[in-house]
Amino acid sequence: MLPLPGPLVGARFVERPNRFVLVCRVDGRPDGAPPERVHMADPGRLRELLLPDVELRVRPADRPGRATDWSAVLVRTPEDDGWVSIDTTLPNRLIRRALEADALAEFYGWRLERAEWPHQGSRFDFLLQGVDDPERRLVVEVKSVSLVEDGVALFPDAVTARGARHVEELAEIAARPGWEAAVLFVLQREGAREIRAAAELDPTFAERLAAARRAGVRVLGRRCRVSEEGVTLGDPVPVE
């Protein structure tokens, strides 16, 4: 389990004035206190999650003098049956820990060489090196998934030019001798039987992901079990 840094405090959603700020009523504030601004690490739309008065968990800011005093961590599902992680930095931390522990069967035979690997103006999440053949390299890009409709997880939930560029560049990397590439979708909630590219929301991303797969890029999925205590990496999820 990857523990969630805390302490976590209850809050209720009021509005979202921009992609990176929520306005929430935070528990424990004095009666009549105005709602507070909360930093939002996930720039996705999240319209199916950020509903009026929905319950959240927030934590105090970890840097004094920051523009917002709180950071959003979790939100309740619309069905009120569990939590969804809305911290897009969390999947990378979770996957890094799993790679370091050699706990991902998808990447047996590889070891972590470095995180945040720079390449042609982009940065990819992880660069792996072959255990038996140190000349081999595998580039892994992690994508956080939180949108679920009718049991299907969808990525992205808004147009992502950056994501489309990443998968196109991964296809180019996979074509190089001795190099491989993978996209790993991390589902930050339960309740989905598969992951799909959201072609209706972002046809360009869907087309480039399909082309990358045809070019040899591995397209993988994993689910998470999310609680107020932490997040645990779950079983593989098929990606259509």
Domain boundaries, the chain: 2-83, 90-236
Instruction: For CA atoms 199, 149, 233, 95, give the dihedral sign.
Output: positive
Q: How many Å apart are CA 20 and CA 71, to the nearest integer?
A: 10
The whole-number pLDDT of residue 117 equals 98
Q: How many Å apart are CA 23 and CA 28, to the nearest integer?
A: 16
CA 128 and chain centroid, separation: 20
The whole-number pLDDT of residue 62 equals 76
Omega before 91 cis (within 30°)? no
The whole-number pLDDT of residue 168 equals 97
Q: How many Å apart are CA 107 and CA 67, to the nearest integer?
A: 40
Contacts of residue 98, Cβ cutoff 8 Å, sequence gap at least 6 = 104, 233
Residue 66 CB coordination number (10 Å): 12
| Cα end-to-end span (Å), the chain | 27
Nearest to 36 by CA among 56, 51, 63: 56
SS3 category, 135: coil
In the Cβ-directed half-sphere of 50, how many Cα atoms lie within 13 Å? 23
pLDDT tens over the chain, length 240 residues: 899 988 999 999 999 999 999 999 999 988 888 999 999 988 788 999 999 999 999 999 877 778 899 999 999 998 888 999 998 889 999 999 999 999 999 999 999 999 999 999 899 999 999 999 999 999 999 999 999 999 999 999 999 999 999 999 999 999 999 999 999 999 998 889 999 999 999 999 999 999 999 999 999 999 999 999 999 999 999 998
Q: How many Å apart are CA 116 and CA 95, to the nearest integer?
A: 13
Structure tokens at 149: 């409709």
CATH number of 90-236: 3.40.1350.60
Architecture of domain 2-83: Beta Barrel (2.40)
Structure tokens at 157: 């939930």
Q: What is the pTM for the complete model shown?
A: 0.93
| H-assigned helices in the chain | 90-100, 161-174, 203-214
Q: How many Å apart are CA 212 and CA 182, to the nearest integer?
A: 9
The whole-number pLDDT of residue 49 equals 93
